[in-house]
Chain A
Amino acid sequence: MAQAMAVGQAAEPHWGELVLPDRVHGSLYADPAVFQLELERIWYRTWVYVGHVSEVPQVNDFVLKSIGPQSVIMTRDRDGKVNLLLNRCAHRGLQVCVRQRGNAASFTCPFHAWTYANDGRLMGVALKDGYEGSDMAEFRLAAVPRVAIYKGFVFGSMAADGPSLEEHLGGAAETIDRLVRNSPEGEVEITAGFLQHRVKANWKFVLENETDGYHPAYVHASIFRVADSGIGALYGGKSIAVARDYGNGHTENDLRPEFRRHAQPLLWFGTDEKRLPDYAAAMRKVHGAEAAERIMIDGTPHVMIFPNLFIAEIQIFVLQPLAVDDTVQHVTALQFKGAPDLNRRLRQQTMGSVGPAGFLLADDSEMYERSQRGVAAREPEWNYLGRGLQRERYDELGFRIGHNTDEVTSRGIWRHYRTLMEQAP
């Protein structure tokens, strides 16, 4: 294994020797050279979630976002189009935007007053007579080459060519459909502001954990012991919920079998219709009684859209890798258009459970950091992901599934990871 481990600056790693069907090599979490290759082959190539249209509702709105370590300005230009612009002046490289959000038709670099429209075009420069004979049309804020929106979720791809967003999402698109169906107006909004939680750990520990159904009973034992939560049972040995691999790295803990067994609307949210009468009434009015009941029983998804959008029933997490051992989780409550009573509870529950002081996430993050320190040990070299391999099966749509605690999800992530990393540079 010694050769496989040695990921030098020049040598191309043998990915097939590092990612095996039931285990992955510890160096994939710890080697800075691997991280650099991941930036090129995953973060600057595949579709990455950047933001939501509701964060730039008005013409000229902008918000600072990111693709991995890259600062990206998400704007809505005067035509209403959403743009993703790299935050770098074409002249001397300054960041042209340092405000987190605002409304501006243009961005002026403070250094020499080069001014860009919010679609990236260079509008003007100071003392332009010095540029006679230069083709100024070549200068602009670089745009992320491909931008695509699915149900309000804005994705960017730094690759000019490649699979479409729909092809990338594949079967997992249905989980986003399922999410927005829970809004009486069929839309979610991201309006509550983000908490940013930093961990000294590799982004893939975070990625894997989002749909790891094996850990909740142990990592979250403290809060399950003192709070009356039904979450524990969903991830217990007797749960009939399933772990699913949608392909393309997208994975899910599908809790619907458990919720359907109980058949109680809004149990997914730990409540009932009596406590959210306005929401329940609005849903029945829009969908009809029967369909509304079905939607409110099934609830929202618990799905990890590769590589960085985790929809966790009541909130979203956006994963941002900064270095091989430095990752930020941006998290906020989902807000459902037309459901103020539900939204208030979504915010309250999200604030309690996630972020740096969250009842749940503080302990998940402790696991990430201990993992990072742990894989520095030389032996046993591998992280074992074989749980439930012998009992994997396929659902009616052909996706791999397993018991909710099985590592079918991690295996799915790594299968796709290997495919991406083996593609030509």
Chain B
Amino acid sequence: MSGAAERLPLGRAEPADDAAQLHEVSQFLYREARLQDEHQYESWEKLWEDDGIYWVPANGEDPDPDTGMSIIYDNRSRIALRVRQLLTGKRHSQEPRSRLRRLVSNIELLRLGEREIEVGANVMVFESNQRGDTIWASRNEYVLRRHDGSFRMARKKVVLVNNEKALYTLSFLI
């Protein structure tokens, strides 16, 4: 994060007044959501930077992922492994695949840098599978980098509202 270029300090609630940029970011997040909902694993993987971190913490909003258990804490090679596992067709918990639709809302640009944008959003996912129907809700935070007129994800953090409780299997892409 290049400090000099920051217009908003991290965590400040006031969103950047930049309608065009907000629109671009929103379109990117909607696209990511659709690729996940429709199990387009390879296209989804292409949204990641080479140093991407995909983090779904457990037990609170901001635990230390280096000392405590996380539900997912994937570096880029582990993201690739997750995708390759899904592509085998033998990932039983996703065969048949969960039917999914998610809403991405309350999108805010939290920090604008020269190369990176930090974004916050609220997400609700409806999952239907053999077990039944499950609703997942989360606060998501993204670090996006500009590439060729679009973005890639350097970081995606998904804080499930109920991550302190026992959760059913979460083998689709959250």
Give A contacts to B, CB under 8 Å.
Answer: 100, 191-200, 219, 221-223, 225-227, 328, 331-333, 344, 347-348, 350-352, 355-357, 359, 362-363, 365-367, 369-370, 373
Q: How far is the CA of A396 from the CA of B84 in the complex (A)?
A: 44
Q: Is the CB of A351 within 8 A of B85?
A: no
CB nearest neighbor in B for A198: B166
Distance to closest chain A CB from B83 (angstroms)? 9
Q: Is the CB of B130 within 8 A of A347?
A: no
Give B contacts to A, CB under 8 Å.
Answer: 56, 58-59, 63, 66-74, 78, 81-82, 84-86, 88-93, 130-132, 164-171, 174
Q: Which 4 residue pairs are nearest across A and B when measured between Cβ atoms?
A: A196-B166, A222-B90, A198-B166, A366-B93
Distance to closest chain B CB from A264 (angstroms)? 24
Q: Specify which chain A residues have a CB less than 8 angstroms from the CB of B164 in the assembled complex.
A: 100
Whether A226 touches B84, Cβ cut-off 8 Å, given contacts A197-B169, A198-B168, A362-B170, is: yes
Known contacts A193-B59, A226-B85, A357-B170, then 10 further A-B pairs from the complex at CB < 8 Å, ordered by chain A residue: A195-B69, A196-B167, A200-B132, A332-B69, A351-B70, A351-B73, A355-B58, A357-B71, A363-B91, A366-B171
Q: Is the CB of B69 within 8 A of A194?
A: yes
Q: Is the CB of B71 within 8 A of A195?
A: yes
Whether A357 touches B68, Cβ cut-off 8 Å, given contacts A351-B73, A370-B130, is: no
Q: How far is the CA of A192 from the CA of B170 in the complex (A)?
A: 21
Q: How far is the CA of A191 from the CA of B67 in the complex (A)?
A: 8
Q: Is the CB of B81 within 8 A of A193?
A: no
Prevailing SS type, chain B contact patch: loop
Q: Specify which chain A residues have a CB less than 8 angstroms from the CB of B85 in the assembled complex.
A: 222-223, 226-227, 359
Q: Is the CB of A357 within 8 A of B72?
A: yes
| 21 intermolecular pairs with C-beta atoms under 8 Å apart | A192-B69, A193-B59, A193-B69, A195-B58, A196-B167, A198-B168, A199-B168, A222-B86, A222-B90, A222-B91, A226-B85, A331-B69, A347-B67, A351-B73, A355-B69, A355-B71, A356-B169, A359-B81, A363-B92, A363-B171, A365-B93
CB nearest neighbor in A for B164: A100
Q: Specify which chain A residues have a CB less than 8 angstroms from the CB of B72 in the assembled complex.
A: 351, 357
Whether A359 touches B58, Cβ cut-off 8 Å, given contacts A192-B67, A199-B168, A365-B169, is: no
